[in-house]
A and B are shown apart, each in its own frame.
Chain A
């Protein structure tokens, strides 16, 4: 399930200030430029809605992964 389009989208958001600002303001407008599957689009939007663009002091990230991470 490797996705070049998803990798490309994330790379652009984190390396191009203009794309990043556009994504924060209107995620759908950026997503439409990449050939993501519907599932990928949903996953991108859900992740962004829950945690935003994550930084190392993101409190929300811990809350997102903790219920899952402890199984292994």
Chain B
């Protein structure tokens, strides 16, 4: 699957090779993808493979879904370039290395190539009505993703320090993209609405578990403490600690006082000792369990879900 997906992506970006600088620029955010596809047994499977695996699970065929997987991968790469421009916190990003104008143009090219990828479904024998319906649904999911990203960027620290808000935002900006990948695979496999719904629930819960894990890593690596960024561990600790600890966390995460100096490792240790990391890990496990339960339900209606179970190991 990985090799054929990489070949599909190569076919899509090949026309850019007339202008070598541009081709290389567009290819760069995709190189990480290619690495993850090549090494897809190290950490489990990358999510661009989800449409293929979902389709295979439902109808035993997946090659026809390759352009859709490539399209989602191109959208993901575009989103990462835009995200790096917004966050301005990565030395390896296109925007840092080549400047915002080049990065924005490359990200726009990735978006357009993604649209082209979906139209290539026709050449794989997918009915035009299904192609149009799929493009419409993918655009709907990614509108949700952008809305979630907008909320993430615009919330005040006080607004962000709420678990309900956090769950809503990560559901929109992260889990919706994984949900979309599952929807894509199910639609292209010819699944009925009930089955599509079950696969999207699996995708949503897997996406939520992954984003919470990413946010836990943001604390253990201290990157979200240095920024600082309010995520689930900080939300828990702000709500559950006494005045002295609470005030310290509030200074770091909410008030962000200029001149207030703190050791990130001290804050990280505090988030462990208050149980904030334990709590976030339990929440991650909870979503993982919900995804597992969905697969059990699918197995009971005759789906062979072994491939998808690998996403939860």
What is A's interface to B at a CB cutoff of 8 Å? 1-2, 6-7, 10-11, 13-15, 39-40, 42-44, 46-47, 51, 53-56, 58, 61-62, 64-72
Instruction: Give 9 CB contacts A-B under 8 Å.
Output: A1-B167, A7-B240, A14-B278, A39-B289, A43-B289, A54-B277, A64-B213, A66-B217, A69-B214
Given contacts A2-B167, A43-B286, whether A71 and B210 have CB atoms under 8 Å apart is: yes
Chain B: interface secondary structure? Answer: helix
Contact with A along B167-179 (1 / 0, CB 8 A): 1000000100010
Partner of A10, one of B46, B212, B282: B282
Given contacts A43-B289, A54-B272, whether A7 and B239 have CB atoms under 8 Å apart is: yes
Chain A: interface secondary structure? Answer: helix
A51 engages B281 (CB within 8 Å): yes
Q: Find residues 254-313 in chain B having any chain A CB closer than 8 Å to their own CB.
A: 265, 268-269, 272-275, 277-279, 281-286, 288-290, 313
> B43 in the interface, Cβ–Cβ < 8 Å?
yes
Rank and list the top 7 A-B pairs by shortest CB-CB distance, nearest first. Answer: A14-B275, A68-B213, A69-B213, A43-B285, A65-B213, A71-B210, A43-B286
- Candidate in A1, A40, A65 with the most chain B CB atoms within 10 angstroms: A65
| Known pairs A1-B286, A14-B278 / 11 extra A-B pairs, C-beta < 8 Å | A10-B275, A10-B279, A10-B282, A13-B275, A13-B278, A47-B281, A66-B213, A69-B213, A70-B214, A71-B214, A72-B214
Contacts of A11 in B (CB 8 A): 240, 274-275
Contacts of B240 in A (CB 8 A): 7, 10-11
A43 to B208: give the CA distance in the assembly, Å. Answer: 15
A32 to B43: give the CA distance in the assembly, Å. Answer: 36
CB-CB nearest in chain A for B217: A69
What is B's interface to A at a CB cutoff of 8 Å? 36, 43-44, 46-47, 163-164, 167, 174, 178, 207, 209-214, 216-217, 220, 236, 239-240, 265, 268-269, 272-275, 277-279, 281-286, 288-290, 313
A44 engages B274 (CB within 8 Å): no
Chain A min CB distance to B37 (Å)? 13
A14 to B290: give the CA distance in the assembly, Å. Answer: 26
Given contacts A69-B216, A72-B174, whether A40 and B272 have CB atoms under 8 Å apart is: no
Counted as pairs of residues, one from A and one from B, with CB atoms less than 8 Å apart, the total is 107
A51 to B269: give the CA distance in the assembly, Å. Answer: 17
Chain B min CB distance to A31 (Å)? 12
Contacts of B288 in A (CB 8 A): 68
Contacts of A46 in B (CB 8 A): 285, 289
Contacts of B275 in A (CB 8 A): 10-11, 13-15
B286 engages A54 (CB within 8 Å): no
B213 engages A6 (CB within 8 Å): no
Partner of B282, one of A43, A61, A70: A43
CB-CB nearest in chain B for A62: B220
Contacts of B284 in A (CB 8 A): 65, 68
CB-CB nearest in chain B for A46: B285
A70 to B239: give the CA distance in the assembly, Å. Answer: 28
Given contacts A56-B268, A71-B47, whether A7 and B282 have CB atoms under 8 Å apart is: no
A2 engages B209 (CB within 8 Å): no
Contacts of B277 in A (CB 8 A): 54, 61
A55 to B269: give the CA distance in the assembly, Å. Answer: 8
Contacts of B217 in A (CB 8 A): 65-66, 69
A65 to B284: give the CA distance in the assembly, Å. Answer: 9
